[in-house]
Amino acid sequence: MGAKPVIFIVSDSVGETADLVTRAALAQYGRQGVEIRRFPMIDDARSLREVIDAARQQPTLIVYTIVVPEIRSELQRLVDMWDIPAVDIMGPMLDGMTRLLGAPERLEPGRMHRLDDEYFRRIEAVEFAVKYDDGKDPRGFLRADAVLIGVSRSSKTPVSMYLAHRRYKVANLPLVPEVSLPKELFLVPPHKVVGLRVSPEKLHQIREERIKTIGLRSDANYSNMERILQELDYAESVFKKVGCAVIDVTNKAVEETAVRVLEIINRGVNFGD
């Protein structure tokens, strides 16, 4: 089997416009197992080259909203050089508006949201999710609306980002038996902590796909079933120790899991799935 196709959302702002257009178009194909990755705030040549280098590793479509002409031109040059399919969402619209109005655009990424308070709250939440993703800084737990905990590949980051786009500040922590739990986790009210549970079989499948994507050996400990069972047992012990609600994400879409998280933190009570 070939590499799994992926769509890169590239923007010199947050990429929300390109993301919405991409998902609307992809819905016409039933998604077909396509992964979407967002690369926001790409406003220099170095960052652009890093995106292109990543895109060259697998079948990739780049969908972009770049306002600054120099960056837009450089992206087009690179995708032409490496024969990477790309769709410019913003460029043709700006060109058309310039011809219609007889005046150049202001070239300010994100300008259409400048006075939108809701937009600023959403951006703040997205930045929060990025900063406190994957247990980077447990101090953020105390400022979060919700803290998601679970083993690696249990949907913590996707759910965090989904909720961030709905203006909720979410941090997450991977549970690894060999890594001590941060003290901050036990200072968060239990109803704000949500455990994400996944079946061993589903987790094994997800990790096997991940290994193929990043090019690791198929017998890597990361996807070893014995290791997976050890991690899941440890996660269950942490859920009990924290006293948090638990959601089984095995057969749930990210959106469905996010709704359950909101039910838990908004009710302020603990209950299992």
Q: Please give the single-letter amino acid code of residue 137.
A: D
User: What tokens were used for 125?
Assistant: 């939440």
50: its two tokens: 């890093």
**Residue 19, C-beta contacts closer than 8 angstroms, at least 6 positions apart:** 9, 36, 38
pLDDT tens digits, one per residue of 143-177: 999 999 999 999 999 999 999 988 899 999 999 99
- What φ, ψ does residue 211 adopt, rounded to 5°? -60, -40
pLDDT of residue 29: 83
Per CATH, the architecture of 117-267 is what? Answer: 3-Layer(aba) Sandwich (3.40)
pLDDT tens per residue across all 273 residues of the chain: 467 899 999 998 878 788 888 888 888 887 567 888 988 888 889 989 999 999 999 999 999 999 888 899 999 999 999 999 999 998 888 888 888 988 666 655 555 444 456 777 888 899 999 999 999 999 999 999 999 999 999 999 999 999 998 889 999 999 999 999 999 999 999 999 999 999 999 999 999 888 877 766 655 688 899 999 999 999 999 999 999 999 999 999 899 999 999 999 987 644 444
> Is CATH 3.40.50 what the domain over 6-113 is classified as, yes or no?
yes
Check if 6-113 and 117-267 are the same fold: yes
Q: In Å, how far are 36, 78, 145 from 41, measured between CA atoms? A: 16, 18, 25
Angle between helices 200-214 and 225-242 (to 10 degrees): 120
Rounded-to-integer distance, Cα 134 and Cα 147, Å? 11
Question: Given its phi and psi angles, is residue 150 left (phi above 0), alpha (psi -120 to 50 degrees) or beta?
Answer: left
Per-residue pLDDT tens digits for 202-225: 999 999 888 877 766 655 688 899
Q: What is the pLDDT of residue 218?
A: 59
Q: Which of 265-273's residues contact partners 24+ apart within 8 Å by CB, and which partners?
A: 265/145, 265/146, 265/191, 265/192, 265/194, 267/191, 268/189, 268/191, 269/191, 270/190, 270/191, 270/243, 270/244, 270/245, 271/245, 272/245, 272/246, 273/197, 273/245, 273/246, 273/247, 273/248
Token pair recorded at residue 201: 């079989």
What is the predicted pLDDT for the residue at 115?
A: 44
Boundaries of every domain in the chain: 6-113, 117-267
| pLDDT confidence of residue 236 | 98
